[in-house]
């Protein structure tokens, strides 16, 4: 297990709302085997400090077979508790990238791979000025080469 640290701001890109309390969840994509045993589908939850910072211990997913990852979620709760002492959940933000924690841990912001997927297509309204690129003609849906 490695110690990972970060802030809610690194995950969401926004400041913490003063009337909400976040809960960060790390949800495995499925079970897998690693050299030290089995990775289960148990969700790991951590409640950040009031400034949004958190620390969490996570297993090394880099050598897992089959290849699995963590989906990071931020659940938002009302600051005020109800009569039964619970907070009302008002929403969940699911991060659109896969997090594959390594054995050495560190800053979660440095480990986030938010690069475009192989199937992502960048569309410009007109051909890009930089030649030797492919572009999608949005008027007819054809892929063209700008040479």
Confidence at 125, pLDDT banded by 50, 70, 90? low
* Res 106: pLDDT: 93
Structural contact between residues 29 and 71, judged by C-beta atoms closer than 8 angstroms: yes
Confidence at 35, pLDDT banded by 50, 70, 90? confident
**What number is the average pLDDT over the span 39-54?**
95
* Res 124: pLDDT: 57
Token code pair at residue 18: 């003063």
Distance from C-alpha of 49 to C-alpha of 85, rounded to nearest angstrom:
19
* Res 92: pLDDT: 93
* Res 108: pLDDT: 92
**Whole-prediction pTM:** 0.74
**What number is the average pLDDT over the span 91-95?**
91
* Res 12: pLDDT: 87
Residue owning tokens 């619970």: 86
Residue owning tokens 């701001």: 9
Non-local CB neighbours of 133 within 8 Å, separated by 6+ positions: 145, 146
Task: Give 87: exposed, middle or buried? Use CB within 10 Å, 0-12, 13-18, 19+.
Answer: middle
Mean pLDDT for all residues in the chain: 85
């Amino acid at each position: 297990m490695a110690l990972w640290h970060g802030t809610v701001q690194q995950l969401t890109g926004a400041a913490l709302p003063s009337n909400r309390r976040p809960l960060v969840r790390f949800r495995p994509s499925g079970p897998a085997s690693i050299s030290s045993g089995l990775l289960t589908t148990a969700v790991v939850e951590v409640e950040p400090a009031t400034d949004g910072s958190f620390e969490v211990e996570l297993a090394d997913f880099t050598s897992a077979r089959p290849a699995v990852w963590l989906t990071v979620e931020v659940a938002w709760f009302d600051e005020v508790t109800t009569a039964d002492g619970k907070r009302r959940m008002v929403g969940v933000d699911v991060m659109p990238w896969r997090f594959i924690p390594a054995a050495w841990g560190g800053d979660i912001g440095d480990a986030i791979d938010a690069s475009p997927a192989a199937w992502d297509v960048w569309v410009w309204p007109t051909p890009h000025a930089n030649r030797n690129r492919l572009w999608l003609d949005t008027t007819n849906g054809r892929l063209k080469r700008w040479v």
